[in-house]
Chain A
Amino acid sequence: MSTHATRETTADVVVVDYGLGNLRSVTRGLERAGAAVEVSDDPDALDEADGVVLPGVGAFGDGMENAGPFREALRDVADSDTPLFGICLGMQMLLDTSEEADREGQGDVEGLGLIPGTNVRFEDPDLKVPHMGWNELRVERDHPLVAGVDGEYAYFVHSYYAEPEDPNHVVTTTEYGADFASVVANDDGTVFGTQFHPEKSGETGLRILRNYVDLCAAES
């Protein structure tokens, strides 16, 4: 339990550990936002959670391979009312597929298929790739996750971005060469993801994590 938690614990959140990346910051960020966090590599742990966070850095093909054992459990979460929150690669994995796996010679890698669409690479030759740094969020449609963050900055590191088939699944956009989807959500609003890292986005990021924990608490 963090001594710096600024709120009472309101929801039990499971952070999916499929062997990639720094989970410390997302765990501490969620704790700061009031969650009791369990980092778990056990798909069964997702059943009882008030909320599930799918983090991730690195390549789409590797991510899907490592997250393979969680595929069914994550689909079950998506079918329930439990909020499922993908971060960065975790968000990209919510879609059907990604150009990245194909480019890396890994063929057609199937994503979780929870939000129809694919992930594509920044192709403008004038752009530096990865898109790395702080960029602005523009809220395109209401979703509790992004309450209070219109016009604020978040921290991004990525070379691919989500292209949902249905524009209604785009919650916020951000401009880098052209507008891209920086937050996506499904029709029910219970499956969503941010391309940026809320756990690395200072006060704005903590606001989003608090919004998330509030959503989880409402479901608990």
Chain B
Amino acid sequence: MTLTKRVIPCIDVDLDENGDAAVYTGVNFEDLEYTGDPVELAKKYNEAGADEFVFLDITASADGRETMLSVVEDVADEVFIPLTVGGGIRDTDDIKETLRAGADKVSINTGALERPELITEGAKAFGSQCIVISVDARRRFDEQGEHYAQVDGESCWFECTVKGGREGTGIDVVEWAAEAEERGAGELFVNSIDADGTKDGYDLPLTSAVCDAVSTPVIASSGCGEPEHMREAFESGADAALAASIFHFEEYTIEEVKEYLDEHDVPVRL
């Protein structure tokens, strides 16, 4: 046996009408539906064999941050598997307080695109192992990219977007992934605006392109609708595969996904 592939449930944390933490699950980064209490979900997924958690603060507000940190504390006190926490992390103080609350890794997206030195500073201060760089990639079928992939017979590149895919940055994801690694990122968390919420599977050309460009671990995210999609992501080079709605809406349990992967010769922790 060797290193296993990780199955990671993603928990998007927002504030409900009472200002309490709640989990919402979206479709195409929009249309959020309430799916439960974050700590209860974490406990349930832990018992079902989750290898790790990703918690994302989707409130992008000061109140949201406070609430998120208390959720992280509660989860870290109950569940003894790795926690990655993202959303609104802009400086090393944000990283520090998130780690102090009990996170093992922080996921940084816009904050790093705006100021790439944050990766270097975070890696130096806290170690590369806790700096995860997250990208929201979007396919672009024009001539402005640097690294092209073939998608359905057409040539496309992948652009880093911000604000949930609503704004482009002109930055090529593959180029950015290599720079992030160079600056000390310990893991890359690759979301796809095109695949998110579709349940048609991960953006495999994107997953492959990033995995080929870096030697740090890669988490594939967005688009998982069934266990087979995770197998495809792992076969494309991903080290971990993330899913939200299939678990939150109980379409599949984590056990079922792992049993499927095991039957298809993907090494998993059972």
Q: Which residues of A contact B (CB under 8 A)?
A: 2, 4, 21-22, 24-25, 28-29, 32, 57-59, 128-136, 153, 155-159, 175-176, 197, 199-202, 205-206
B2 at the interface (CB under 8 A from A): yes
Select from chain A the residue with minimum beta-carbon distance to B46.
A202
B130 at the interface (CB under 8 A from A): yes
Interface size class of B (residues with CB under 8 A): 20 to 34
Provided the pairs A22-B104, A155-B81 are in contact, do residues A133 and B51 lie with their beta carbons within 8 angstroms?
Answer: yes
Decide: A133 and B217 in contact? CB cutoff 8 A: yes
Q: Mostly helix, strand, loop or mixed at chain B's interface?
A: loop
B77 at the interface (CB under 8 A from A): yes
Chain A contacts for B3, CB-based, 8 A:
131, 133-135, 156, 176
Q: Once bound together, how far apart are the Cα atoms of A157 and B104, in whole Å?
A: 10
- Residue in B46, B103, B129 whose Cβ sees the most chain A Cβ within 10 Å: B129
Q: Which residues of B contact A (CB under 8 A)?
A: 1-6, 46, 51, 73, 76-78, 80-82, 99-104, 126-130, 186-187, 215-217, 239-240, 269
Decide: A134 and B4 in contact? CB cutoff 8 A: yes
Decide: B76 and A24 in contact? CB cutoff 8 A: yes
Chain A contacts for B127, CB-based, 8 A:
21, 57-59
Provided the pairs A21-B126, A57-B126, A58-B127 are in contact, do residues A134 and B102 lie with their beta carbons within 8 angstroms?
Answer: no
Decide: B51 and A24 in contact? CB cutoff 8 A: no
Decide: B129 and A22 in contact? CB cutoff 8 A: no
Chain B contacts for A130, CB-based, 8 A:
128-129, 186, 216-217
The 5 sampled A-B contact pairs (Cβ below 8 Å) are: A21-B99, A128-B216, A153-B269, A176-B2, A200-B82
| Given A28-B80, A133-B3, A158-B129, 13 more pairs with CB closer than 8 A | A22-B103, A29-B80, A58-B126, A59-B127, A133-B217, A134-B269, A135-B4, A136-B2, A153-B4, A157-B82, A157-B129, A202-B81, A205-B80
Provided the pairs A22-B102, A22-B103, A202-B80 are in contact, do residues A132 and B269 lie with their beta carbons within 8 angstroms?
Answer: no
Select from chain B the residue with minimum beta-carbon distance to A138.
B1
Chain B contacts for A59, CB-based, 8 A:
127
Decide: A133 and B4 in contact? CB cutoff 8 A: yes
